[in-house]
Structure 1
Amino acid sequence: MDASAKAVLRPALAGAGVLVASTLVWFVGPLIAIGGSVPLAGEPARWIAIAVLVALAAARAAWRSASAKRRNRRLMDGLVAGEAAAAAATPATAPGAKEVALIAKRFEQAVGVLRRSRIGGKKRSWLAALSGRPYVDELPWYIIIGAPGAGKTTALVNSGLEFPLATTVGEKVIRGVGGTRHCDWWFASDAVLIDTAGRYTTHDSDRAADRAAWLGFLALLARYRPRRPINGVLLTLSVSDLLSASPARRVAHAGELRERIEELHARLGIAFPVYVLVTKTDLLAGFMEFFADFDKDERAQVWGVTFPYETGASGEGPLPRLASDFAALEKRLNDCLIDQLDSER
């Protein structure tokens, strides 16, 4: 369930609970006797009891909202302070020193936007404060990794997600222009997505500097979001890279991706799902023509498989299933092909 749905469901359930409790007070209250007296026999007493229930529910909602606001402020202050401290503690001659300073500046700009705004674009009314959109620390956070030019940023642009802050402060504050140089923070209505530079994955620009910036960023997340630094990783693979690379290069790149995932596990100390996204499939011959007639709902369908988190009884991972699952995906396309050919007659 996404954050926006939870934000709507939570107050709805709370309101339903108050309604049920009030109904019980009104109809069952007169039937309850305590020491020979019936305290809720009269209507005024029942109205007072119901008012107390409503006041308690409102107070609890206000407390939750205030607590979330304090957590959000502490998170933002801590992240900025942590980046500044890391930049100050990094010697100017150390590998990645300039990179750390640039990330700190970038993050401080994003935090400044969050301090002036709310996810949703406007300041909360008193009602929205009780049941409105979540604060940033309540949203799931996802890291996006992949090689340079793998289409990470383009996938976000065309994801269909809502980025409400972009309408109030401009997209350049939320993300970079062109290729991602460091880390771009996308604040969507339902999640925070951290678009990392491709060289953080491959370490092919300046290995020492890229590695220092990458590991420093992971340390920052682990320190200031200790309960759940991230909720998942989106790993991008470009079709063009897969087709043009030699077998040896594909194996080497798979090793790089595996190393980044292992570093995430080790540095953050948590388990998380990994979503593999194959990008630039529109470059395949016939792709655009094949899917041109699909409507919005058909295009929104997922073409992929989900592997279980737990390993099988034999201790094997998901690889033994890959061949059969991939064959099933291929069959889905072949089944559509018959209809496509029929419509072109």
Structure 2
Amino acid sequence: MALLPALLIIWIWWWGPTFRYQDSIPFSEVTTRWLATVVIVLLVVSWIGLATWRRVKKLEALKLDVELAVVDPVRQDLDFQKRYLNYWKSQFIRHLNGHTKAVYLRPWYFVLGANQSGKHSLLKNTVNPLDIAPSDNIVNEQNIALNIQCLLTDNAVLFVPNGDLLTQPANQADKPQLYHRLWGDLLNWIKTNRPRQPMNGIVLTVDTLSLLTNSKEQNSQLLADLQMRIEEIRMTFNSRLPLYIVLTKLDLLRGFDSMYQSLDVQQRNEVLGVSFNQKAKSNWKKELNHFWSQWVGQMNSALPEMMLQRAEGNQRSDLFSFVRQIEGLQHSVCTLIDALLINNEQHNICLRGVYLTSALQIGQIDDVFSQTASEQYHLPTAPLTTWPINDSHPYFTTQLFSQVLFSEPNIAAENHYWVKKTSDSPISHHCC
């Protein structure tokens, strides 16, 4: 490529004087040959200058990246998350055939939960979401961890942040405020790309066993983190959002299998929980107590017949243990809700319901009250049993998403500031 201008100049001076074009000899004059030579030289110099300028700009950009990485060590993480979100959006629009308002064609939901809260198992074994934008397709030379996953279902779009974005632990000494800034950038990206109605709802997953067995300090910290994140969502999106609380891993309470092993497929697919009346904003506790009393009452009424059907003595004690643990769970759930709604005087968070699930049966089964009694009286703790490795069945999840969580996407209000801005614009007044 570099020899081409030199060969062209040699040709002009060697064969130019005899070159004919349409009965004329364009390079017969020495002046013409010199002019053509100068033009070629100028083009070569311009090309070299442009290539050098681009190279210098690239080196300056690389140097700036290195300097910014020192000054702001979180910058690359923020950039990677934003590139992933933009890539997902492009794939989402492509998936919907390039519709101009694709972001509004399906409702968007947050699926929040601390690490090990069971949110991924719940989604995988219930709605089988589609990952249309694998993060492996994005250039990631620094092997930066991605803390958000965007998933697509037949009915909704799900934003599933890593649990660290909720609890925001300070375990990254070299990257201070990493999770706080990633979380803030995520909220701002959603608000920017879906300004009219950023979200249609929040699904909060809580590990049932952890809620019962964690220390008071651990639960207080978790509740404070969850309350803060929900408050940040509300303040960023400036809209009223429905909140669905899903208690997961119900199967880890001793006696779950003995209580529900006889359910058929249709019964397992039903919803176990309570949806609160939207108009009775302050009566959620009354409705929750009514559901809980009814649920425990039904189990107590069924106990005599179930005891006769259970030949083994340990299954009979398991039944009593399960009912006792469920009775104690009610107080923990009320404490959870009170903490989440502590600053909700304006009812900006609409508590829609509490639901209990078991997406799959795996892990160690615990008896909360037996373990507590053993610790209190310094008795040896009973060995924990483990679910056998076999086929699991989802309990109380199949209809939960289709008939409850995704059934009312229009409850969420529009962004208050977006509505005000559009209503005050000259175009909107003209249209009115």
TM-score by length of 2: 0.48
Q: CA deviation at 1:279?
A: 1.0
Distance verdict in 2 for CA 1:254–1:309, change over 3 Å: farther
Secondary structure of the residue that 2:121 maps to in structure 1?
helix
The residue number in structure 1 matching 2:294 is 328
TM-score by length of 1: 0.59
Aligned positions of 1:149-168 closer than 5 A: 149-159=116-126, 161-163=127-129, 165=130
State yes or no: 1:98 paired with 2:90: no
State yes or no: 1:258 paired with 2:258: no
Q: CA deviation at 1:263?
A: 1.0
Question: Is this contact kept in 2: 1:234–1:277, CA < 8 A?
Answer: yes
Structure 1, residues 286-344: CA drift from partner, whole Å, max 9, x if none? 213332222222112111112233455xxx45335443432223224334545544544
1:293 to 237, 240, 262: 262
Aligned positions of 1:80-95 closer than 5 A: 92=69, 93-94=71-72
Q: CA deviation at 1:264?
A: 0.9
State yes or no: 1:188 paired with 2:153: yes
Structure 2 gap segments, 5+ residues each:
1-64, 138-144, 312-432
Distance verdict in 2 for CA 1:140–1:271, change over 3 Å: same
Secondary structure of the residue that 1:305 maps to in structure 2?
strand
Question: Is this contact kept in 1: 2:84–2:135, CA < 8 A?
Answer: no
Aligned length: 232
Question: Is this contact kept in 2: 1:140–1:191, CA < 8 A?
Answer: yes
The residue number in structure 1 matching 2:177 is 208
State yes or no: 1:308 paired with 2:280: no
Which amino acid in 1 is paired with 2:292? F
The residue number in structure 1 matching 2:236 is 267
Which amino acid in 2 is paired with 1:189? D
**Separation in structure 2 between the aligned mates of residue 191 and residue 295 of structure 1, nearest angstrom:** 28
Structure 1 range deviating more: 140-149 or 93-102: 93-102
**Separation in structure 2 between the aligned mates of residue 194 and residue 151 of structure 1, nearest angstrom:** 15
Aligned sequence identity (%): 24
Question: Is this contact kept in 2: 1:136–1:192, CA < 8 A?
Answer: no
Distance verdict in 2 for CA 1:296–1:249, change over 3 Å: same
**Separation in structure 1 between the aligned mates of residue 245 and residue 94 of structure 2, nearest angstrom:** 34
Whose RCO is larger (CA < 8 A, sep 6+)?
A: 2
Question: Is this contact kept in 1: 2:88–2:133, CA < 8 A?
Answer: no
Distance verdict in 2 for CA 1:259–1:113, change over 3 Å: same
Aligned positions of 1:72-83 closer than 5 A: none
Which amino acid in 2 is paired with 1:230? M
Distance verdict in 2 for CA 1:290–1:228, change over 3 Å: same
**Separation in structure 2 between the aligned mates of residue 172 and residue 223 of structure 1, nearest angstrom:** 25
Which amino acid in 2 is paired with 1:117? H
The residue number in structure 1 matching 2:200 is 231
Q: CA deviation at 1:243?
A: 2.6
Bigger radius of gyration among the two:
2
Structure 1 gap segments, 5+ residues each:
1-87, 174-179
Which amino acid in 1 is paired with 2:118? G
Considering only aligned residues, what root-mean-square deviation do their CA atoms show, in Å? Answer: 3.1
Aligned positions of 1:134-173 closer than 5 A: 135-159=102-126, 161-163=127-129, 165=130
The residue number in structure 2 matching 1:277 is 246
1:198 to 157, 163, 184: 163
Distance verdict in 2 for CA 1:261–1:311, change over 3 Å: farther
Question: Is this contact kept in 2: 1:96–1:210, CA < 8 A?
Answer: no
Distance verdict in 2 for CA 1:309–1:158, change over 3 Å: same
